[in-house]
């Protein structure tokens, strides 16, 4: 967790850096800088696993590595007992490079290429989640190790309350087999006809769910479908996976459901759906695939403040821009999804506290409404209309909370900016670089200038 001089309110679950550690890290590794706290991440996994096991004895947690595929993060998740969800050959290779056996990995993807499937089977991937009829036919023709099992992804027809771009469980989706139009049943029959080692069913309704109803409905519908298949076709699923999706506290206004309540509701909905069916007394495994909800709150991003300028604005008279040394290439989520974050200043002088210790609160009577912008050749408004200290100056730092998920994983070299480094805060209080900043040589290594282009 945060160190003793951190201003973390007791009720706030998000990791943040103390001013002392933030300045130490920025001085050693530079900014922009991703920071992940090992103790916080481990504790989050432990709490999630304990909650799910309490709700369902045959529970299984799989870390969705798409949220953060940094090797050290994957290794930590595996060390805490998670299997690893991978969405590409690259993520599978990352998991293997992090020391995870392929047998502990689940391969997802709505359009897996033949080479990806062949590679996954050659290394003995544990589960392949089947997404369309062509994929069923393809894998049936390939050499398949006995340890690889197959899971059919379902589209349960659930439309969650979340951003449209991270909603995946509705009927109109590129993912999986639709239950209502009969595709899911036909896919199951075909997989069984072809002799695939079918394990069960999977669904994922969406991400950043603050309302649990969609996930509860998804769990009920997937279990109801499995019960129907058991009755009508005699296939007894030994594995159901309801995906991930539990929301996190990006801003002070976000109030995710406690993970204990969330897991209980999911497990209850699944158990309710199989009552009176051949599955009722079958000890099938029940899986979840959290990604964001495990790693997001364990990470922050540090930026250095550069130019601060006030300009005319039609709607308010003036607007003040605080420009930082990063932007949409290290956090594309604001421009993609309109995502909001909590941003805190770390000034040249230490903060003043009303109390000592981890419950300390910053005293700052003078704040201004500003827009934090990046340095890219775009509008690049990272965080619009937020409050920061009025005396913020060039060279100060800001830390953005809850950036452990989908920041490092989605970073790019837009405008030829190097992707940031990632520092890991160890449980003993030390820190180490686990992902270094891009070098210029690496940035241009894939390119060449053919002879004759330059006179």
138: domain CATH number?
3.20.20.10
Same domain, 207 and 283: yes
Distances (CA, A) of 29 to 19, 24, 436: 15, 9, 9
> Which of the listed residues 263, 290, 317 is the one where a domain comes to its end?
290
pLDDT at position 6 over 60? no
Distances (CA, A) of 269 to 50, 214, 224: 19, 11, 10
pLDDT at position 454 over 90? no
Looking at the domain assignment, is residue 146 inside a domain? yes
What is the tens place of the pLDDT at every residue in 59-73?
999 999 999 999 999
pLDDT at position 400 over 60? yes
Tell me what pLDDT residue 163 has: 37
The pLDDT confidence band at residue 347, using thresholds 50, 70 and 90, is confident
User: Of the listed 82, 203, 377, 402, which one is catalytic?
Assistant: 377
Same domain, 353 and 423: yes
> Who wins on pLDDT, 306 or 316?
306
Q: What is the CATH number of the domain that holds 302?
A: 2.40.37.10
What is the tens place of the pLDDT at every residue in 207-244?
788 887 888 888 999 999 999 999 999 999 999 999 98
> Across residues 196-208, what is the average pLDDT?
91
Residue 336: alpha-carbon gap to chain centroid = 15
Same domain, 119 and 268: yes
The pLDDT confidence band at residue 357, using thresholds 50, 70 and 90, is very low
Same domain, 327 and 233: no
Q: Is 86 left (phi over 0), alpha (psi -120 to 50) or beta?
A: beta
Sorted by sequence, the CB contacts under 8 Å of residue 213 that are 6+ apart come out as 161
Looking at the domain assignment, is residue 47 inside a domain? no
pLDDT at position 350 over 70? no
Looking at the domain assignment, is residue 343 inside a domain? yes
The pLDDT confidence band at residue 365, using thresholds 50, 70 and 90, is low
Same domain, 24 and 164: no
Looking at the domain assignment, is residue 72 inside a domain? no
Same domain, 283 and 303: no
Cβ 339 vs Cβ 287: under 8 Å = no
Looking at the domain assignment, is residue 86 inside a domain? no
Same domain, 358 and 274: no
Cβ 7 vs Cβ 350: under 8 Å = no
pLDDT at position 360 over 70? no
- For residue 329, count other CB atoms closer than 10 A to its CB: 23
Tell me what pLDDT residue 210 has: 84
Share of the chain above pLDDT 90, in %: 83
pLDDT at position 352 over 80? no
Tell me what pLDDT residue 362 has: 52
| Distance from the first to the final alpha carbon of the chain | 58
> Across residues 97-112, what is the average pLDDT?
97
Looking at the domain assignment, is residue 23 inside a domain? yes
> Which of the listed residues 269, 290, 311 is the one where a domain comes to its end?
290
pLDDT at position 164 over 70? no
Tell me what pLDDT residue 172 has: 67
377 in active site? yes
Cβ 80 vs Cβ 104: under 8 Å = no
Tell me what pLDDT residue 174 has: 81
Same domain, 425 and 329: yes
Same domain, 264 and 122: yes
Looking at the domain assignment, is residue 143 inside a domain? yes
The pLDDT confidence band at residue 3, using thresholds 50, 70 and 90, is very low
Same domain, 192 and 246: yes
Tell me what pLDDT residue 9 has: 43
Looking at the domain assignment, is residue 365 inside a domain? yes
> Which of the listed residues 275, 290, 305 is the one where a domain comes to its end?
290
Tell me what pLDDT residue 159 has: 56
Domain count, the chain: 2
Same domain, 276 and 353: no
Question: Which range of residues forms the domain containing residue 222?
Answer: 108-290
What is the tens place of the pLDDT at every residue in 268-277?
999 999 999 9
Cβ 328 vs Cβ 43: under 8 Å = no
What is the tens place of the pLDDT at every residue in 22-54?
999 999 999 999 999 999 999 999 999 999 999
The pLDDT confidence band at residue 288, using thresholds 50, 70 and 90, is very high
Same domain, 220 and 137: yes
> Across residues 414-443, what is the average pLDDT?
97
Tell me what pLDDT residue 349 has: 64
Tell me what pLDDT residue 1 has: 34
């Amino acid at each position: 967790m945060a160190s003793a001089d951190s201003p973390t309110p007791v009720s706030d679950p998000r990791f943040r850096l103390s001013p002392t550690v933030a300045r130490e890290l920025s001085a050693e590794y530079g900014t922009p800088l991703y920071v992940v706290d090992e103790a916080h991440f481990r504790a989050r996994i432990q709490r999630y696993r304990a909650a799910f096991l309490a709700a369902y004895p045959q529970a299984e947690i799989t870390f969705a590595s798409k949220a953060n595929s940094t090797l050290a993060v994957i290794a930590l998740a595996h060390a805490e007992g998670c299997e690893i969800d991978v969405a590409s050959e690259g993520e599978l290779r990352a998991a293997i490079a992090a020391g995870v056996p392929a047998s502990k990995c689940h391969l997802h993807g709505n359009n897996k290429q033949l080479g990806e499937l062949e590679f996954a089977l050659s290394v003995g991937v544990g589960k392949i989640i089947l997404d369309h009829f062509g994929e069923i036919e393809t894998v049936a023709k390939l050499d398949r190790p006995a340890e690889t099992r197959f899971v059919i992804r379902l589209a349960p027809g659930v439309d969650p309350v979340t951003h449209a771009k991270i909603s995946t469980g509705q009927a109109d989706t590129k993912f999986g087999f639709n239950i209502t139009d009969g595709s899911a049943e036909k896919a199951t029959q075909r997989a069984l006809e072809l002799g695939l080692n079918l394990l069960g069913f999977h669904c994922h309704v969406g991400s950043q769910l603050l309302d649990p109803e969609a996930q509860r409905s998804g769990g009920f519908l997937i279990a109801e479908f499995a019960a129907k298949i058991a009755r009508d076709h005699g296939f007894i699923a030994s594995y159901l996976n309801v995906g991930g999706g539990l929301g996190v506290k990006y801003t002070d206004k976000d109030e995710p459901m406690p993970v204990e309540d969330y897991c209980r509701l999911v497990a209850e909905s699944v158990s309710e759906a199989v009552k009176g069916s051949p599955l009722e007394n079958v000890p099938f495994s029940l899986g979840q695939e959290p990604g964001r909800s495990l790693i997001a709150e364990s990470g922050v991003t540090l930026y250095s403040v550069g130019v601060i300028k006030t300009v005319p604005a039609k709607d308010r008279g003036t607007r003040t821009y605080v420009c930082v040394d990063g932007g949409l290439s290290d956090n594309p989520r604001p421009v993609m999804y309109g995502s909001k974050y909590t941003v805190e200043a770390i000034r040249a002088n230490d903060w003043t506290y009303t109390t000592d210790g981890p419950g300390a609160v910053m005293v700052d009577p003078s704040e201004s409404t500003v827009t934090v912008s990046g340095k890219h050749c775009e509008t690049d408004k990272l965080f619009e209309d937020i409050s920061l200290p009025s005396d913020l100056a060039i060279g100060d730092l800001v830390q953005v909370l809850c950036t452990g998920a989908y920041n490092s994983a989605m970073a790019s070299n837009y405008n030829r900016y190097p992707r940031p480094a990632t520092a890991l805060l160890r449980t003993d209080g030390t820190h180490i670089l686990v992902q270094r900043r891009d070098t210029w040589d690496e940035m241009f290594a894939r390119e060449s200038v053919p002879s004759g282009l330059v006179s």
